[in-house]
Amino acid sequence: MDFKKIYKSAYYLIYDINYKIKLNDFNPVIDALFDDIDIKEWGFITGFNPQSISHCKEENNSFNENLFNDLNEYTILLGEGGDIEGDWEPEKSFLVLGINKKELINSAIKYNQKAVIYGEINKVAELLFI
């Protein structure tokens, strides 16, 4: 299975602002969240399905709860990542405001994620493969 292709074609929705992240493009709606705060970076991550291996709902919820607790120092908006074909169950995810690239990658490694999205204000969002 070509996970890189799947991740590149997936959608990444932030519930609170009803916005889909654009990969390799600017995200002015997310940038606008930073207008009144001194934060320049963000990440989008999930704890669901470590190593892209399907897990049951209870396990995924537990993985995500642990990730959320690890990220408790950040402002977090809830969202999901999903397969546009609808073959995979959407994965509950987090938009993490203020997380730097190194911390985002470390969280991805800790939770056995194959990819995350990293963004900086007024720059294009990157899909990072771990």
Question: How confident is residue 2, by pLDDT bands cut at 50, 70 and 90?
Answer: confident
Q: What pLDDT is attached to residue 34?
A: 87
Model pLDDT, residue 116: 98
The structural domain count of the chain equals 1
Residue 35: band (very low, low, confident or very high) from pLDDT cuts 50, 70, 90: confident
Buried b (16+ CB within 10 A) or exposed e, 51-89: eeeeeeeeebeebbeebbeebeebebbebbbbeeeeebe
pTM of the model: 0.95
DSSP classification of residue 125: B
Q: Which domain holds residue 100?
A: 3-129
Please determine, for residue 1, whether its predicted confidence score (pLDDT) is greater than 80: no
